[in-house]
C-alpha cells in the first residue's frame, strides 16, 4: 500500500539538493546498511525506514530519474511501476556488484537508449535478486596451503561439495562457489558459498611470500667435513649437500622447493655438539686448541 504523500528523497537520504550523484549513492549505501532487515530482524521501524530509502534512491539515485523528479515529472505512478519499496537484496550484496546491477543497470534500462517502452515495461520480475551468500570457515594444515589439496564439505541439505584448495593459498583467503548459497525467496538464482580458509601455523616452517625457511640440525663432523643429509620439506623429502667447514647460522638456498614450486626454500643450519665426545676426537680438539693458542700468542708477541 502506497502512502498518499510521497517522501522527500533528499531529506530521507540526508543530502542537500545540490549533492553530487556520488554523494547520494554513498549516503544510500551507508543508511541501507544501517537499516537493512538482515541487521534488524523483526524491527518493523527499521524495515519501514529501509523501504523509504529504497524509494528515495529510486527517485534521485540516477541522473535521469533525478532530473525528472526535480522537474516534477516523476511521481507515485513511476514508483508503483518499479516496485521501489519491494526491492530486496542481502546485506552482502550491498557491497558487491548486485547493488550496482540493481540501481545502475535497472535505471539504465529505464532511462537509457531503450526508451519509453522499457520504462513502461520494467518491473521487479525483470530483476530477481539472488539468494543470500552462505559463509563457511575451513581449517587446513600449513602443508596443505603450500602444496594444495581437496576437501569434501558436508552440506546441511545432505549433499557434499568438493572444495579445491589451490597450492599457495594464504591464511584468510576466500574461495567463492557460485550457486552454492541460500535459495532466493523471489525466484532468482541461489547465492554463493564463500569459504574462508584458515591456515594453521607450522612449528617447522616460516613463509615469506612464496619463499619458505626452516632450520636443520647438522652434526659437528658433517659441518666440518661436509656431506649429505635428508631434509623433510612441505613439498617432500630431498637430499641436501652440506659444504665443508660450514658455520652455524649459515643459510643454504634450494631453488624451486618453496610455495607451489614458485619460491625457494632457505635452510638455516644449526651445528650441534654431540653429548658424548669420542676420546680420540677429544684428544684431537685439545691438540688443535693448544696449537691455535700457541700460534696466537706467538703472533701477539
Question: DSSP string covering 60-115, please?
Answer: HSSHHHHHHHHTT---HHHHHHHTGGG----TGGGGSHHHHIIIIIHHHHHHSTT-
Q: pLDDT tens-digit profile of 71-105? A: 875 555 445 444 444 444 555 555 444 454 444 44
How far apart CA 156 and CA 162 sit, in angstroms, is 14
* DSSP string covering 24-37: HHHHHHHHHHHH-T
* DSSP string covering 259-279: GGGTS-EEEEEEEE--SS--H
Q: Give percent of the chain above pLDDT 70.
A: 77
Residue 226 counted as domain residue = yes
Q: Which strand (E) or helix (H) includes residue 177? A: strand 174-177
What's the rounded mean pLDDT across residues 128-143?
88
Residue 41 counted as domain residue = yes
Residue 147's pLDDT is what?
87
Residue 122's pLDDT is what?
39
Residue 191 counted as domain residue = yes
Residues 105 and 42 in one domain: yes
Residue 272's pLDDT is what?
92
Residue 280 counted as domain residue = no
Residue 242 counted as domain residue = yes
How far apart CA 209 and CA 173 sit, in angstroms, is 14
How far apart CA 208 and CA 259 sit, in angstroms, is 9
Residues 172 and 212 in one domain: no
Is pLDDT at 70 greater than 90 in this prediction?
no
Domain residue limits at 16: 9-126
What's the rounded mean pLDDT across residues 144-166?
88
pLDDT bucket at 109, cuts 50 / 70 / 90: very low
Residue 41's pLDDT is what?
77
How far apart CA 70 and CA 106 sit, in angstroms, is 20
Instruction: Determine contact, residues 206/142, Cβ cutoff 8 Å.
Output: no
Residues 25 and 104 in one domain: yes
pLDDT bucket at 294, cuts 50 / 70 / 90: confident
Domain count, the chain: 3
How far apart CA 243 and CA 39 sit, in angstroms, is 63
Q: pLDDT tens-digit profile of 227-276? A: 999 998 888 899 999 999 999 999 999 999 999 888 999 999 999 987 77
Residue 282 counted as domain residue = no
Q: What is the CATH number of the domain that holds 112?
A: 1.10.287.110
Q: What is the CATH number of the domain that holds 254?
A: 2.60.260.20
Identify the residue whose cell numbers are 524509494: 55
| pTM of the complete model | 0.51
Amino acid at each position: 500500500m502506497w502512502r498518499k504523500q510521497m517522501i522527500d528523497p533528499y531529506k530521507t537520504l540526508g543530502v542537500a539538493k545540490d549533492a553530487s550523484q556520488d554523494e547520494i549513492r554513498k549516503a544510500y549505501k551507508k543508511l541501507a546498511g544501517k537499516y537493512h532487515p538482515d541487521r534488524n530482524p523483526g524491527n518493523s521501524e527499521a524495515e519501514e525506514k529501509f523501504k523509504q530509502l529504497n524509494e528515495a534512491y529510486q527517485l534521485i539515485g540516477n541522473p535521469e530519474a533525478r532530473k525528472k523528479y526535480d522537474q516534477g515529472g516523476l511521481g507515485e505512478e513511476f514508483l508503483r511501476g518499479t516496485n521501489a519499496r519491494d526491492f530486496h537484496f542481502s546485506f552482502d550484496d550491498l557491497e558487491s556488484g548486485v547493488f550496482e546491477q540493481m540501481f545502475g543497470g535497472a535505471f539504465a534500462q529505464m532511462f537509457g537508449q531503450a526508451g519509453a517502452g522499457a520504462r513502461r515495461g520494467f518491473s521487479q520480475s525483470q530483476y530477481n535478486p539472488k539468494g543470500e551468500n552462505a559463509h563457511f570457515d575451513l581449517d587446513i594444515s600449513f602443508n596443505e596451503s603450500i602444496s594444495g589439496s581437496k576437501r569434501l564439505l558436508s552440506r546441511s541439505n545432505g549433499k557434499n561439495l568438493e572444495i579445491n584448495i589451490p597450492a599457495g593459498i594464504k591464511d584468510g583467503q576466500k574461495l567463492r562457489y557460485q550457486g552454492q548459497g541460500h535459495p532466493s525467496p523471489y525466484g532468482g538464482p541461489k547465492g554463493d558459498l564463500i569459504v574462508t580458509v584458515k591456515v594453521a601455523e607450522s612449528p617447522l616452517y616460516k613463509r615469506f611470500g612464496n619463499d619458505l625457511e626452516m632450520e636443520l640440525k647438522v652434526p659437528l663432523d658433517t659441518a666440518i667435513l661436509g656431506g649429505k643429509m635428508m631434509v623433510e620439506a612441505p613439498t617432500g623429502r630431498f637430499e641436501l649437500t652440506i659444504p665443508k667447514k660450514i658455520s652455524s647460522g649459515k643459510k643454504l638456498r634450494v631453488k624451486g622447493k618453496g610455495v607451489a614450486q614458485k619460491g625457494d626454500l632457505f635452510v638455516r643450519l644449526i651445528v650441534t655438539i654431540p653429548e658424548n665426545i669420542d676420546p680420540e676426537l677429544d684428544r684431537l680438539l685439545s691438540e688443535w686448541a693448544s696449537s691455535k693458542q700457541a700460534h696466537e700468542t706467538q703472533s701477539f708477541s
